[in-house]
Chains A and B, each alone.
Chain A
Amino acid sequence: MLGTVVIENLSKTYHTKQRKGLFKSIPRDVESLKGISLEVEEGEIFGLLGPNGAGKTTMIKILSTLLLPSSGSARLNGYDVVADDNAVRATVGCMLMGDRGLYWKLTGRENLIYFGALYHYSPADRKRRAQEIIDMLELGDLADRSVETYSSGQKMKLAFGKSLINDAPLLILDEPTNTLDVPSASELRAIVRQKNQQEGKTIIYTTHIMAEAETLCDRVAIIDYGQLLAIGRVPELKASLGREHITRIAGVIPSKAVEAVKALPAVSQATLGSVDGVAELTVMSHNGADTLARLIEVLGQIGATIQKITPQDVTLEDVFIAKTGRTLAENTAVETGAKK
Chain B
Amino acid sequence: MTAISLPARKPGKASPATLVSATFATVRARLLIVSRYKGQLFNEILTPIVLAAMPILLGRATAGDRAAEVFLANTGTANYVGFMLIGSATFVIVSNAFWHIANWLRWEMETGTLESIYLTPTHRVFVAAGTGIYSTSRSTVGAFVAYLIGSAIMGINPFQGDLLIAFLFILCGLIPLFGMTLFYGALVLKLKEANAMLNLMQWVVNFLMGVFFPITVMPAAAQLVAKLFPPTWMTNGVRSAMLGVGYFFGEWYLDLAVLWFFMLAAPMLGIWAFKKIENSVRRNEGVGQF
Inter-subunit contact A118/B113 (CB<8 Å): no
Q: Is B7 an interface position by the 8 A CB rule?
A: yes
Q: Is A229 an interface position by the 8 A CB rule?
A: no
Segment at the interface with B among A81-89, A239-247, A268-276, A324-332: A81-89
CA distance A107 to B106 in the complex (A): 22
B247-290 contacts to A, CB under 8 A, are 279, 282-288
Least Cβ–Cβ distance between B153 and chain A, in angstroms: 33
Least Cβ–Cβ distance between A103 and chain B, in angstroms: 6
Inter-subunit contact B33/A101 (CB<8 Å): no
Beyond A91-B11, A101-B112, A146-B36, whether A119 also contacts B284 by CB under 8 A is no
Residues of A close to B111: CB separation below 8 A: 100, 103-104
Q: Is B220 an interface position by the 8 A CB rule?
A: no
Question: Contact check: which of A61, A68, A88, A166 meets B279 at CB < 8 Å?
Answer: A68
**Chain A residue at minimal CB-CB distance from B19:** A120
Q: Is B22 an interface position by the 8 A CB rule?
A: yes
Question: Contact check: which of A64, A114, A146 meets B25 at CB < 8 Å?
Answer: A114
A22-46 contacts to B, CB under 8 A, are none
Beyond A15-B284, A120-B18, whether A86 also contacts B12 by CB under 8 A is yes
Inter-subunit contact A117/B22 (CB<8 Å): yes
Segment at the interface with B among A121-129, A210-218, A288-296, A309-317: A121-129
Q: Is A90 an interface position by the 8 A CB rule?
A: yes
Interface size on B (CB < 8 Å)? Answer: 42
Beyond A90-B12, A103-B33, whether A14 also contacts B119 by CB under 8 A is no
- What are 25 pairs between A and B in contact, CB < 8 Å? A14-B285, A61-B288, A64-B119, A65-B118, A66-B115, A66-B288, A86-B11, A86-B12, A87-B13, A97-B115, A100-B111, A100-B113, A103-B113, A105-B37, A106-B33, A110-B29, A114-B26, A118-B25, A119-B121, A120-B14, A121-B4, A128-B4, A132-B1, A162-B116, A167-B4
Nearest 8 A-B pairs (CB), nearest first? A100-B112, A86-B12, A117-B25, A90-B11, A118-B120, A101-B116, A90-B12, A90-B121
Apart from the given pairs A65-B118, A105-B33, A105-B37, 5 other A-B contacts in the complex at a CB distance below 8 Å: A66-B282, A89-B121, A100-B112, A100-B113, A118-B117
B residues near A, CB below 8 A?
1-2, 4, 6-7, 10-14, 18, 21-22, 25-26, 28-29, 32-33, 36-37, 111-113, 115-123, 127, 279, 282-288
